[in-house]
Amino acid sequence: MAKFEVNFYSYTLDHGVDIEVTIPSFSSCDHKKDVKPTHKPEAKFPVLYLLHGHGNDYKCWTRYTGVERLAEEQRIALVTFNSENKAYNNVGDGERYYDFLNEELPSFVTGMFPISERPEDTYIAGLSMGGYGTLAHALTNPARYCAFGAMSPGVYSDRGCRFIDPAVELEKRIKEGVKLPKGYICCGKNDFLYDRVVRFVNVCQELGADFVWHPVDGYEHEWRYWDVEIANFLKWIPRTDYYADKPHKI
């Protein structure tokens, strides 16, 4: 992967923001006799927006999992950014993290990098707080995403939902007859959030949502589990892009 550490001024947040963009790129396995090497991609890449959890930062996904190698092999770009602990919602002036992820960030990365703008090439996934953010964004703006992955999502707080309620948004979209992105929801059975996630899954099933539910024995709220699930998610996502049937060796 070609990795870009980017800092730019966000007109939505009204301050500088750090993001990491990883793009599939030329590797040593691509050297072929009598073929001139090139860094020019054959087509724009599909993209996965990866959301971190509470207390994490934009580097955690690539630091604690094998997602970078997996994305290179499957030829999909990755985008991560800092949402602090704002749950990917708008929480006040200068902290419009919902608007940043929903509007400005996709505009920036598709404008600056060889990343597809097509909704059918766009995916979102996250863990814990990022799993909640994934549900909030995928269900309030379903036309933007082909599929989502909510891993150990922080749904149904005991204090009530201060922000977007994914269950409420899901019911609204289904009543509106809106086509929803395909969903992948997972959680370790020893996770302290497991019972809350099951409650949300039951709501999804009652409403007839199209999703996969993957509960797994032996895991808590931990990176060891999310490392396994990000691999499962990347294998599962529906793809129609140019690279879908062109795996890459590294």
What pLDDT is attached to residue 232?
98
- pLDDT tens digit sequence for 4-50: 999 999 999 999 999 999 999 988 777 777 778 888 899 999 999 99
Long-range own/partner contacts, residues 135-139 (CB < 8 A, 24 or more apart): 135/166, 135/169, 135/200, 136/87, 136/88, 136/89, 136/98, 136/163, 136/164, 136/166, 136/169, 137/88, 137/98, 137/101, 137/102, 138/180, 138/181, 138/183, 139/166, 139/169, 139/170, 139/173, 139/180
pLDDT tens-digit readout, 144-153: 999 999 999 9
Q: How confident is the model at residue 156 (pLDDT cuts 50, 70, 90)?
A: low
Rg (alpha carbons) of the chain, rounded to whole number: 18
* Distance in angstroms between the alpha carbons of the first and the last residue of the chain: 9
Supply φ then ψ for residue 53, to 5 degrees. -95, 180
Structure confidence at residue 32 (pLDDT): 77
Read off the pLDDT of residues 171-202 as tens digits, 9 standing for 90 and up.
999 999 999 999 999 999 999 999 999 999 99
What is the pLDDT at residue 26?
A: 83
Backbone φ and ψ for 45, nearest 5 degrees, come out as -90, 145
